[in-house]
A and B are shown apart, each in its own frame.
Chain A
Amino acid sequence: MIIDGKCPTGPLAERWDKYRREMKLVNPANKRKYKIIVVGTGLAGASAAASLGEMGYQVDSFCYQDSPRRAHSIAAQGGINAAKNYQNDGDSVYRLFYDTIKGGDFRSRESNVYRLAQISNSIIDQCVAQGVPFARDYAGYLDNRSFGGAQVSRTFYARGQTGQQLLLGAYSALSRQIKAGTVRLHTRSEMLDLVVVDGEAKGITVRDLVTGEISSYAADAVCLCTGGYVNVYYLSTNAQGCSVTATFRAYKKGAYFANPCYTQIHPTCIPVTGEHQSKLTLMSESLRNDGRVWVPLRKGDRRPPNEIVEGERDYYLERKYPSFGNLAPRDISSRAAKEVCDERRGVGPTGFGVYLDFKDAIDRLGEDTVRQRYGNLFEMYERITDENGYKQPMRIYPALHYAMGGLWVDYNLESNLKGLFVLGEANFSDHGANRLGASALMQGLADGYFVIPYTIGNYLAQIKPGAVTSDHVAFAESRENVNVVTKKLLGINGRKTPKEFHRQLGKIMWENVGMARSEASLKRALELIPVLRDEFWQNVRVVGNGSELNQELERAGRVADFLEFAELLTRDALHRNESCGGHFRVEHQMSDGEARRDDDNYSYVAAWGYQGAETVPELHKEPLVFENVHLGIRSYK
């Protein structure tokens, strides 16, 4: 089926204004009659809940952590983009729009991305007003740094903790509304089901993670702001609790899942040390400005780095991409690292690592300058690896990092299920097949502060408040469904832990659906995943019971969803018979290893509709129309 993104028409730059001119409004006195559920308190969720509460709606806000401030947005390091052009270096709304579209390898919607670029400037203003301590120069003006994929300096930052500071800003705005009574906060609550009545989202079912109680909440609209799903690969830069559960359960209730195969791998993470590894730590990409990436020329060369002389080293990025060198884009650098390791030229105890060497930079600039630029990263590296990056090269390896795919939404951020809105990393909308650095924070806050307050009003103005309440039979059914799954998980009493299944699934995904995907590897994954899933449902061991704080049960539920979702992701990757951005099919590459897109056949959003457990999902297509940019080859040479 062809689906419609409902984008306004007319000149690109005027579409959002036109939308706002024509949209329907809810009368201020009527706002408090409407209830809105916001799941998630990351940048997207906290900013949405705070803004909607402020407008006068009754908001219920949920997160699985013990405090809204702990959502994984807190971990973002680098910065947030905006088209302020404070540096007078030629930036503009159009340029930010164009960079984002191009960075996404021409797989996103023009209208959405243009709106994002337009809104970007207001985000910075809003955050400054909240007291976000962005870096300033000596004159007191906001400072900027440059980031990958752009030739202008448009990234705003707060030391290496930009995500933390932006989230604390949104969290404080949320806290103000909690105090004011417009937002009710539910922490340690995990959404386990979406309640749909007559095709419209009308509530959610949650488990209280402390008491185990299953309860439902009714509302006039539901916003999912539940983050990304790359923990389906087990090891990633995401937090332990990040999962696909909320969005996947909405998918099972009829919401389309779009482009699940678009996942991003970050090239500079600290390598895995062993089976015990539980997460991967990202080290800011900025290190590649001064570090040189290399591996030994000879296969299986296990000598320590200082014994390998210049002529025996392969600076493979500089060799393959002479003009971009060590600053080649994320996906290209990641794949190149995998290639050399697969050739058995990788370094470190596991052989899955490459050197990032600062010796030349230290010789050129002095250790002090390097310390000033990257001191905190060197410290973090040492804390984790016990190695001193000034004395010996660091070891890095790519890791799963970000999900461009997510629930399908139209220009209103509304799913195909009416009344269901999806914000932040949980939706698919703005980054196409690859996200540029510092753009996720921008999108999360754009969605929450400046898009949803308008678009949800347009929806609510057309429905009667409180039409469905939680005594509707759909809520009891939803709770019953959740209870059945919980009972089932607790009753299997098998021999493997949820974590063991998760780790095994991660291996399948990393090896077959990772950086380099082929028809054969994807088909292999499609055979292996269902086998593992069947084994899970016969052999998982979940100790304890459902009516207490039970972290094993929490994990089991999330792993169960990953085991289904992995198949959807793989199916999407197999169907997309082209390479684009983070989705790299080895069959489709240029002679230099760049992704080869197939615009004639794949210039569309793939939105999958659930058809039942045993049936292949249905593919819906939203054609991507480019009226303002020319579909070029994404070259960074």
Chain B
Amino acid sequence: MNLNLFVWRQKGPNEPGKLEEIKAIDVSPDMSFLEMLDEVNERLVHQGKDPIAFDHDCREGICGTCSQVINGVPHGPQEKTTTCQLHMRKFKDGDSIYIEPWRAKAFPLVKDLIVDRSALDRIIQAGGYTSAHTGGAPDGNAILIPKPCADRAMDAAECIGCGACVAACPNGSAMLFTAAKVSQLAYLPQGKPEAARRACVMTDAMVQEGFGNCSNHYECEAACPKGIKVSFIAKLNREVLKARCESI
């Protein structure tokens, strides 16, 4: 099939950007979306043109590197599927496809479809851990963890840190991302001692990085390739409230 792509092209953060029309020809339905872009890029290179810059690595939906807004939706039309796992059979001959980068105040653009998501790392650095130092841990079965807690922690821990939730949110909020980490550790006994502090410093860091707040649009959950639930945001709010009350 043949497609009309409209791709966001921008040389750098301080350059003007625009949607450029590029044809994708002879696209096989078995290709992944990124393989389709690979072929487009190969043609551009043969023509001596600058290929489209985009982020990707594992191409199996787990590293969270790929990050494209496809036809207005972060990671495109298929539910719970990252850009790299999306396949061209979801499109048909003659389709126009709009491809844009994540857009959010806290994600400055680097080039074309690549943005800087280091703000997410800094939220984790603020407190997304237990302060367990190497070598001092008791036996893994010394503290029993009820299966429902372990399962819920795992549900939250599935986050791949891609930032689709931020790109989908009208407020550019990283609440779902932050909530997932805070919840994971709050459900586990190992995370409890620092739970209150963690919830506060991570939300503070989120605000400082320029992410917006949550006003219950639920766009984040809809865009999340791992189906992380907004109920974790409620958990985060509860953790923060509890912490702030306790510190009064």
User: Contact residues of A with B, CB < 8 Å?
Assistant: 47, 50-51, 54, 65-70, 72, 74-75, 84, 86, 122, 124-131, 133-142, 158-159, 161, 164-165, 168, 171-173, 175-176, 178-179, 185, 187, 210, 239-241, 273-274, 276-279, 281-282, 380, 383-384, 386, 449-450, 453, 495, 497, 499-500, 541, 543-544, 548-549, 551-552
- Residue of B32, B140, B146, B188 contacting most chain A CB atoms (<10 Å): B140
Q: Which residues of B contact A282 (CB under 8 A)?
A: 60
Assembly CA distance A63 to B107 (angstroms)? 20
Assembly CA distance A173 to B116 (angstroms)? 22
Q: Which residues of A contact B161 (CB under 8 A)?
A: 67, 69-70
Q: Which residues of A contact B58 (CB under 8 A)?
A: 70, 72, 74-75, 239-240
Q: Which residues of B contact A453 (CB under 8 A)?
A: 134-135
| B188-A67 in contact (CB<8A) | no
Query: Which of the residues A65, A134, A549 comes within 8 Å of B150, measured between beta carbons?
Result: A134
Assembly CA distance A135 to B55 (angstroms)? 32
Task: Tell whether B71 is near chain A: CB-to-CB under 8 Å.
Answer: no
Q: Which residues of A contact B89 (CB under 8 A)?
A: 386
Which B83-137 residues sit within 8 Å CB-CB of chain A? Answer: 85, 87, 89, 110-111, 114, 116-118, 120-121, 124-126, 128-137
Q: Can you report 8 residue pairs joining A to B where beta carbons are below 8 Å apart?
A: A133-B154, A139-B144, A140-B150, A172-B130, A173-B132, A178-B125, A278-B59, A450-B134
Known: A131-B190, A133-B184, A175-B121. A126 touches B38 (CB 8 A): no
Produce 1/0 per residue, B11-54, CB < 8 A to A: 11000000000000000111110111011001001101111010
Assembly CA distance A159 to B34 (angstroms)? 27
Q: Which residues of B contact A50 (CB under 8 A)?
A: 134
| A133-B157 in contact (CB<8A) | yes
Question: Min CB distance, A507 to chain B, in Å?
Answer: 17
| B134-A276 in contact (CB<8A) | no
| A136-B45 in contact (CB<8A) | no
| B125-A175 in contact (CB<8A) | yes
Query: Which of the residues B32, B51, B140 comes within 8 Å of A142, measured between beta carbons?
Result: B140
| A74-B153 in contact (CB<8A) | no
Question: Min CB distance, B22 to chain A, in Å?
Answer: 15
Q: Which residues of A contact B121 (CB under 8 A)?
A: 67-69, 175, 185, 187
Assembly CA distance A133 to B120 (angstroms)? 21
Least CB separation from B12: chain A residue: A548
Known: A122-B135, A239-B58, A543-B45. A384 touches B85 (CB 8 A): yes
Question: Min CB distance, A376 to chain B, in Å?
Answer: 11
Comparing B61-69, B165-173, B216-224, B233-241, the segment that makes contact with chain A is B61-69
Q: Which residues of B contact A47 (CB under 8 A)?
A: 134
User: Contact residues of B with A, CB < 8 Å?
Assistant: 11-12, 28-32, 34-36, 38-39, 42, 45-46, 48-51, 53, 55-65, 78, 81, 85, 87, 89, 110-111, 114, 116-118, 120-121, 124-126, 128-141, 143-147, 150-151, 153-154, 157-158, 160-161, 184-185, 188, 190-191
7 closest Cβ contacts across the A-B interface? A140-B144, A172-B129, A129-B137, A129-B132, A125-B137, A273-B30, A133-B154
| B150-A136 in contact (CB<8A) | yes
Known: A124-B140, A131-B184, A176-B125. 9 other contacts (CB 8 A): A67-B64, A75-B60, A122-B137, A129-B130, A142-B141, A281-B59, A449-B134, A497-B45, A551-B53
Question: Min CB distance, B246 to chain A, in Å?
Answer: 21
Q: Which residues of B contact A187 (CB under 8 A)?
A: 118, 121
Q: Which residues of A contact B117 (CB under 8 A)?
A: 66-67
Least CB separation from B146: chain A residue: A140
Least CB separation from B48: chain A residue: A543
Q: Which residues of B contact A122 (CB under 8 A)?
A: 135, 137
| A67-B147 in contact (CB<8A) | no
Assembly CA distance A54 to B208 (angstroms)? 26
| B62-A161 in contact (CB<8A) | yes
| A171-B38 in contact (CB<8A) | no
Least CB separation from B191: chain A residue: A131
| B34-A137 in contact (CB<8A) | no
Q: Which residues of A contact B60 (CB under 8 A)?
A: 75, 279, 281-282
- Residue of A136, A449, A552 contacting most chain B CB atoms (<10 Å): A136
Query: Which of the residues B30, B46, B63, B85 comes within 8 Å of A274, measured between beta carbons?
Result: B30
Question: Min CB distance, A241 to chain B, in Å?
Answer: 5
- Residue of B42, B51, B55, B133 contacting most chain A CB atoms (<10 Å): B133
Known: A50-B134, A549-B114. A65 touches B51 (CB 8 A): no
| B118-A551 in contact (CB<8A) | no
Q: Which residues of B contact A279 (CB under 8 A)?
A: 59-60
Assembly CA distance A86 to B142 (angstroms)? 12
Least CB separation from A272: chain B residue: B30
Query: Which of the residues A67, A74, A129, A185 comes within 8 Å of B138, measured between beta carbons?
Result: A129
